[in-house]
Structure 1
Amino acid sequence: MKKIAVLLLFVTLLIAGCGASNSEKKAETPSQSKKPIVIGLMPDTDSIPFIIAEKNGYFKEEGVEVTLMPFKSAMDRDAAMQSGNLDGAVSDLLAVAFAKSGGFDVCVTSMTDGNYRLVAGKSVDLANGVGTLKGKDVAVSKNTIIEYVTDQILAKNNMSDTDIEKVVIPQIPLRLEMLQNGKLAAATLPEPMASIAIFHGCKFVTDSAELGINPGVMMFTKAAVKDKNSEIAAVYRAYNKAVDYLASTDREKYIDFIIEKNGFPSEAKSALKLPSYHKAALPEEKDITECMEWLNSKKLVSDKYSYQDLVVKGLF
């Protein structure tokens, strides 16, 4: 009987031990949380849904740890990406093509809702629309999304870049200042600088949204897409919640926070026109094709990347 009692005690302890081991394993499963994601942001309207997603706790709701890293210049953002400090970034098709051409494997995971506006000076008569700018000084930044959008605007108005006098001014604040002071006929500006120029009396000509030009994208490294696929999907679920919030909430409830977080000038509170944000979606094939044709024609990129070469599907 003693032997039987000892045997039963041993079996009981063994079962209890297995039970504890199984419960530990079950407890460990949730702790194997999603891998952290680091996303680079620029001080523009494209970044706002990510800022709102962080502020409102949507990333936490989706169980993903996200660090938003702000950058003042695209050059610094791209350097951080290539050094492995970022998984993804608010970017544009040109930056993606440049990175890929340079041997750094990145991909487009969605489009964004950034807008680039052609704005004329206060004294310019816009009777002929874009055609009014023939032979006049128009400020851009060379070989960037700004120049690309400018050229696309001209093309859609049956003009070429030889029809205007391009003035290269890389610094956006200087471009804005010269436009407002009447030293330029026009300039292509991102938001919120374009809205600020219009707020101070400059004249809206047209913009990328009006003409269906959509070069703004989210890019992630191929390594991140491979190793953090479910985490990126969670980021997009949080992004979509932020889009819903922006569409349904009075702007006064978040505009001060956005201005402070992005470092926008104080005038942006009254001047800034936010885009109608869309839930996560892939860019259209024409967006890739038109951008690559421009890059190839300028001999900025020799490779002829296709939609399939640049875009990754299935993350939302």
Structure 2
Amino acid sequence: MFDTLGVDVRLRCFTAQMDCDTAFVGGSVEGIVTDIVRAKRMTAGGTSLDYLSKTGAYWQLIASRKSRLKRVNQFGDKMIAMTRYSATDYLCDRVLAGAKLSSMAFRIQVNDVNIRLRMLLNNEMDAVWLAEPLATTARLAGNNVVIDSRDVNKRLGVIAVRKDRTADARRRKQLAAFTKAYNMACDSLNANGMGRYADVLRKYYKVDDRTISALPKLKFNHIEKPRQQDIDLTSTSKK
């Protein structure tokens, strides 16, 4: 769809948020799909950005089926795989803060989401934070969803662009065309479902047909700025 509107969009795919950040901060890419927590950290580090849109991204805290974890208050002395200074770190803050744990829960930094999933499937981690479609793969293997980020009323997924790359008229025109193409893609996904794009999912997410068939029905929204209440969230407490 980008081609039909004359927009040259080249996707750079990463399996770890920190690698994605490095490319964005270093200027080798102009836009980024990220979360508000990491975006605020990049801003604090001196990278000037604009939020183009919120996304429908959500994360699930999924416990190993062998751990028998059903509730957050059972996570004392358990290991949770996440990424520091990110949505998953923030969500750990939120869900653990009010839990009466018998002892401390341990946050283990596992940046590559594919490795995170494998550790769960191999029972090397008590619980992990995953987004779709990897969350579906984890659920299909019999692992238990303990918390869904949608339950805490925080919409943390965003698309951001570097301010220094969108200042001139030519770039703004490209951004307007990108927005139109993105909205068209959302309409196609909503009308035809994820199954129509199975080849894309296999290529970029390395998921199998069973996962693709089991993906939940999601609604993809047009470009829309994030809610101010989400932008104003309190950053994670760690420095």
Decide whether aligned partners of structure 1 residues 224 and 262 sit closer, same or farther in structure 2, where only a CA change above 3 A counts.
Answer: same
Structure 1 unaligned residues grouped into runs of 5+: 1-57, 300-316
Q: Secondary structure at the match of 1:209?
A: helix
Calculate the TM-score normalised by the size of structure 1.
Answer: 0.66
Is 1:193 the counterpart of 2:128? The answer is no
Deviations 1:76-129 (Å, cap 9, x if unpaired)?
Answer: 3233223332221111223322222222212212111212110112134456x3
- Kindly state the Cα deviation for residue 252 of structure 1 after the two structures are TM-superposed: 2.8
Tell me the residue number matched to 2:202.
260
Distance 1:165 1:134 in 2: 5
Out of 210, 219, 222, the residue aligned to residue 160 of structure 2 is: 219
Distance 2:105 2:216 in 1: 28
Is 1:64 the counterpart of 2:4? The answer is no
Deviations 1:202-249 (Å, cap 9, x if unpaired)?
Answer: 011221123322221111011223221222122111111111111111
Q: Secondary structure at the match of 1:114?
A: coil
> How many residue pairs end up in the alignment?
235
Q: Secondary structure at the match of 1:66?
A: coil
Is 1:205 the counterpart of 2:146? The answer is yes
Tell me the residue number matched to 1:12.
none
Preserved CA contact (<8 Å) 2:38 2:85: no
Out of 108, 112, 116, the residue aligned to residue 168 of structure 1 is: 108
Out of 81, 93, 99, the residue aligned to residue 24 of structure 2 is: 81
Tell me the residue number matched to 1:148.
90
Pairing 1:299-314 to 2, within 5 Å after superposition? 299=239
Preserved CA contact (<8 Å) 2:35 2:86: no
Calculate the TM-score normalised by the size of structure 2.
Answer: 0.84
Distance 2:80 2:25 in 1: 33
Tell me the residue number matched to 1:238.
181
Tell me which amino acid in the other structure corresponds to 2:81. Answer: A
Tell me the residue number matched to 1:178.
119
Preserved CA contact (<8 Å) 2:36 2:158: yes
Whose Rg is larger? 1
- Kindly state the Cα deviation for residue 186 of structure 1 after the two structures are TM-superposed: 1.9
Identity %: 28
Say what the alpha-carbon RMSD is for the aligned residues.
Answer: 2.6
Deviations 1:170-194 (Å, cap 9, x if unpaired)?
Answer: 1433432332333433221232222
Preserved CA contact (<8 Å) 1:151 1:161: no
Distance 2:102 2:32 in 1: 33
Preserved CA contact (<8 Å) 1:90 1:218: yes
Structure whose residues are more often helix by fraction: 1
Q: Secondary structure at the match of 1:70?
A: coil
Pairing 1:85-104 to 2, within 5 Å after superposition? 85-104=28-47
Deviations 1:287-309 (Å, cap 9, x if unpaired)?
Answer: 1111xx224x323xxxxxxxxxx
Return 280-289 or 62-71, whichever deviates more.
Answer: 62-71
